């Protein structure tokens, strides 16, 4: 049977959006069309890791560059859309490259602005078109069926010029905010470094200790243990106040252990918390419960050793070592996995003080890094957790240091929240600009120009020839 091709008039009719389906009013010389009438979503081509040369042109995945290859599939610039996985993600690449088979790349008639189509696609809810129940995916027929407003070609160019000018200003503002945010990591590190050299509480000591000399505080058990071990060279050059003592963590901790393997078989949607490295972070001592795993232990299963208690200090001991958290009051029943060590402080110390020192860049983390480098394999052992030197002031001063740290960090947090709010406003502005631009509401349209319907006809004529 001979395949029947649509006539020009049939294609034109199927490309136009009926009046009742037009969502809002547009300028008189614009026209409502189906997205599929002006673009083609071409399938990317498979290029397994084993066949990539590793250098040359970028290999484009669903949401970014995933490798490099000596050859390219499509010349740049190219618009790549996620087909599977990160479906609906729209990316613009200037460089020629190789979109793989989890993507579409966009083809457009030369009578339509390619950059205009890129910004247009950012306004189309492609991510919401997923109809797969297993692997998220974008069906191109669903994309083709989207209603879009098409302006004349000269208006497309003016829209691009104004949109990019406005977006560039917003991105400059975002860059300034991001640079400001990066300073807070350094500020936190500086506060902790100052705290554990006595800088935060210099005035407190003057007001509360007067002429107390080093060693006058009755800590005979601590000092006796300390004096039996020589302070290592990495910490000996750090100056601390006369009323402080260097103490080995082995003295501070009454119990140190780590989680065991084989807990995966107990994973459950309900039950007790199972803490992993992802629940710990740097430069904070709070447990992060954003990602939770739960376990359901059968009766008679031994888990007591790795069951956390209030005040336990948790330390990541593999991969990203030195993440710290303290188990707070009224924390739900929880266990640790094999990548976390549990250190239980003895009485007579401020637990948060010890934890903050362990989390500090020039304190615990520095020593953990050196202990790890000196080991025969990556990671920390339980003996390493017991081998950290900690500067110990009087107990009241420990609590004062913690108060000062919290006060400073709380102020940082307020500013950071304000900066994040600014970033959110920037994102909202971008969306607003694009929305108004593609509705013809940014003051660039010229009604004297040829109607976009004529542009559509030119595109269709080339399709049906």
SS (H, E, C) the chain: CCCCCCCHHHHHHHHECCHHHCCCCCCCCCEEEEHHHCEEEEECCCCCHHHCCCCCEEEEECCEEEEEECCCCECCCEEEEECECCCCCEEEECCCEEECCCEEEEEECCCCCHHHHHHHHHHCCCHHHCCCCCCCECCHHHHHCCEEEECCHHHHHHHHHHHHHHHHHHHHHHHHHHHHHHHHHHHHHHHHHHHCCCCCCHHHHHHHCCCCCCCCCCCHHHHHHHHCCCCCHHHHCCCCCCCCEEEEHHHHEEEEEECCCCCHHHEECCCEEEECHHHCECCCCCCCCCCCCEECCCCCCCCHHHECCCCCEEEECCCCCCCEEECCCCCCCEEECCCEEEEEECCCCCHHHHHHHHHCCCCHHHHHHHHHHCCCCCCCCHHHHCCCEEEECCHHHHHHHHHHHHHHHHHHHHHHHHHHHHHHHHHHHHHHHHHHHCCCCCCCCCCCCCCHHHHHHHHHHHHHC
Q: What is the pLDDT of residue 132?
A: 64
Q: What is the pLDDT of residue 229?
A: 46
Q: What is the pLDDT of residue 232?
A: 56
Q: What is the pLDDT of residue 225?
A: 43
CA distance 465 to 444: 34
Q: What is the pLDDT of residue 234?
A: 56
**What tens-digit pLDDT sequence spans the chain (465 residues)?**
455 678 899 999 999 999 999 999 999 999 999 999 999 999 999 999 999 999 999 999 998 999 999 999 999 999 999 999 899 999 999 999 999 999 999 999 999 999 999 999 999 999 998 776 667 799 999 999 999 999 999 999 999 999 999 999 999 999 999 999 999 989 999 999 999 999 999 999 999 986 554 344 434 334 434 443 455 555 666 789 989 999 999 999 999 999 888 888 899 999 999 999 999 999 899 999 998 999 998 876 767 788 999 999 999 999 889 999 999 999 999 999 999 999 999 999 999 999 999 999 999 999 999 888 655 567 899 999 999 999 999 999 999 999 999 999 999 999 999 999 999 999 999 999 999 999 999 999 999 999 999 999 999 998 876
CA distances, 202 to each of 127, 218, 349 (Å): 56, 21, 20
Evaluated on CA atoms 9, 10, 14, 17, the torsion sign reads positive
Which residues are registered as beta bridge partners of 272?
A: 295
Q: What is the pLDDT of residue 223?
A: 42
**Cα 279–Cα 280–Cα 285 angle in degrees, nearest 5:** 125
Closest-CA residue to 140 (of 106, 114, 179, 190):
106
CA distance 82 to 73: 16
- pTM value? 0.75
Closest-CA residue to 78 (of 125, 114, 38, 46):
114
Q: What is the pLDDT of residue 253?
A: 95
């Amino acid at each position: 049977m001979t395949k029947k091709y649509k006539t020009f008039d049939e294609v034109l009719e199927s490309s136009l959006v009926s009046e009742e389906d037009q969502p809002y009013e547009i300028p008189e010389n614009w026209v409502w069309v189906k997205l599929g009438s002006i673009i083609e979503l071409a399938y990317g081509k498979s290029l397994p890791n084993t066949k990539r040369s590793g250098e040359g042109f970028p290999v484009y995945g669903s949401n970014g560059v995933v490798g490099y290859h000596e050859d390219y599939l499509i010349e740049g610039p190219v618009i790549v859309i996620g087909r599977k996985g990160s479906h609906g993600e729209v990316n613009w690449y200037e460089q020629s490259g190789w979109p793989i088979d989890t993507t579409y790349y966009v083809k457009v008639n030369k009578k339509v602005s390619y950059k205009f189509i890129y910004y247009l696609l950012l306004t189309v809810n492609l991510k919401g078109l997923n109809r797969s129940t297993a692997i998220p995916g974008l069906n191109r027929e669903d994309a083709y069926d989207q209603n879009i407003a098409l302006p004349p070609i000269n208006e497309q160019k003016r829209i691009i010029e104004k949109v990019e000018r406005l977006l560039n200003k917003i991105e400059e503002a975002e860059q300034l905010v991001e640079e400001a945010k990066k300073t807070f990591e350094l500020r936190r590190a500086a506060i902790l470094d100052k705290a554990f050299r006595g800088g935060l509480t210099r005035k407190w000591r003057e007001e509360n200790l007067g002429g107390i000399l080093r060693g006058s505080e009755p800590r005979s058990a601590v000092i006796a243990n300390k004096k039996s071990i020589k302070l290592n060279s990495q910490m000996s050059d750090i100056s601390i106040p006369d009323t402080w003592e260097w103490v080995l963590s082995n003295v501070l901790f009454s119990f140190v252990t780590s989680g065991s393997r084989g807990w995966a078989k107990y994973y459950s949607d309900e039950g007790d918390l199972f803490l992993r490295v992802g629940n710990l972070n740097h430069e904070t001592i709070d447990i992060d419960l954003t990602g939770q795993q739960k376990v359901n232990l059968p009766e008679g299963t031994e888990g007591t050793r790795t069951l956390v208690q209030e005040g336990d200090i948790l330390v990541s001991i593999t991969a990203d070592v030195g993440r710290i958290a303290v188990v707070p009051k009224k924390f739900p029943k929880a266990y640790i996995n094999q990548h976390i060590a549990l250190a239980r402080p003895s009485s007579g110390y401020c637990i948060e003080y010890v934890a903050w020192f362990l989390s500090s860049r020039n304190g615990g983390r520095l020593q953990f890094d050196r202990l790890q480098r000196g080991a025969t394999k990556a990671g920390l052992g339980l003996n390493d957790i017991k081998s950290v030197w900690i500067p110990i002031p009087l107990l009241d001063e420990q609590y004062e240091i913690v108060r000062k740290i919290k006060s400073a960090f709380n102020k940082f947090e307020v500013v950071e929240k304000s900066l994040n709010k600014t970033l959110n406003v920037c994102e909202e502005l971008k969306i607003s600009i694009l929305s108004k631009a593609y509705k013809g509401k940014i003051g660039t349209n010229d009604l004297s120009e040829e109607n976009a319907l004529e542009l559509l006809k030119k595109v269709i004529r080339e399709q049906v020839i």
